């Protein structure tokens, strides 16, 4: 599956624009972390871009264990590499899929980082990613009541891929800044 086909598939299945942006942000950070570890940037990017493909198909309040599994099954039928579909399952702990490979551990911690960075941007006067710095993100990370939905525990699992929180935030922020026009931030 090409990146273009993947994005088309996302647009067909995910109508909420903020969700699409979240998937684009996850893709950008996945690619950046793949580069950091000399991993397959294309596969990592696709996993990030496609990880919430089923978010409007699965009722994840009712069936949290299905979110990721349904999307992974759709993609497997289309012939998408199991490295990618397994990573998609692993992004959601409720699926029961254990994090084993680097890509699986990476997608897990990257997913909520995007939300923290977006929230930290939206409280800036300019609301622009360009004006956000890694230290502000780290400060927001420590503020427990800020953007509670972005699980600090999951973000901190960047230690599973041997990244310090500081480096992880720096890579993530830079990756999102590079696609700021796509994110409208």
Residues making up the chain, counted from first to last: 185
Euclidean distance between CA atoms 160 and 102, whole angstroms: 8
Query: For 141, left (φ over 0), alpha (ψ -120 to 50), or beta?
Result: alpha
Residue 125 beta carbon to Fe ion: minimum distance, rounded to whole angstroms: 28
Q: 87 with 107: CB under 8 angstroms?
A: yes
- For Fe ion, give the closer residue by CB, 56 or 131: 56
- From the list 7-15, 81-89, 103-111, 127-135, the region that binds Fe ion by CB under 5 A is 103-111
Interhelix angle for 3-13 vs 41-50, to 10°? 10
Mapping DSSP to helix (H, G, I), strand (E, B) and coil, where does residue 175 land? helix
* Distance in Å, CB of 52 to Fe ion, minimum: 4
Enumerate residues 24-63 that contact Fe ion by CB under 5 A. Answer: 52
Which is closer to Fe ion, CB of 107 or CB of 161? 107
| Closer to Fe ion by Cβ: residue 50 or 120 | 50
Q: Which is nearer to Fe ion, 10 or 165 (CB)?
A: 10
What x-and-dash track marks residues 122-161 binding Fe ion by CB under 5 A?
A: ----------------------------------------
111 contacts Fe ion (rule: CB under 5 A): yes
Distance of CA 92 to CAs 21, 37, 110, 183, 185, Å? 18, 22, 12, 23, 26
**Both structure tokens of 83:** 């490295």
**Residues in touch with Fe ion (CB under 5 A):** 52, 111
């Amino acid at each position: 599956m090409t990146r273009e086909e993947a994005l088309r598939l996302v647009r067909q299945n995910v109508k909420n624009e903020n969700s699409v942006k979240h998937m684009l942000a996850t893709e950008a950070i996945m690619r950046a972390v793949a580069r950091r570890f000399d991993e397959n940037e294309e596969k990592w990017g696709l996993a990030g871009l496609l990880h919430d493909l089923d978010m409007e198909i699965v009722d994840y309040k009712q069936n949290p264990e299905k979110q990721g599994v349904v999307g992974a099954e759709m993609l497997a039928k289309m012939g998408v590499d199991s490295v990618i579909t397994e990573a998609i399952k692993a992004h959601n702990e409720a699926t029961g899929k254990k994090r084993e490979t680097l890509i699986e551990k990476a997608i897990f911690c990257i997913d909520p980082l995007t939300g923290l960075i977006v929230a930290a941007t939206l409280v800036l006067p300019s609301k622009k990613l360009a004006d956000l710095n890694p230290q502000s993100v780290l400060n927001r990370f420590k503020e427990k009541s800020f953007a509670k939905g972005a699980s600090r525990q999951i973000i901190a699992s960047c230690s599973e891929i041997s990244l310090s929180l500081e480096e992880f935030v720096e890579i993530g922020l830079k990756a999102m800044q590079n696609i700021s026009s796509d994110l409208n931030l």
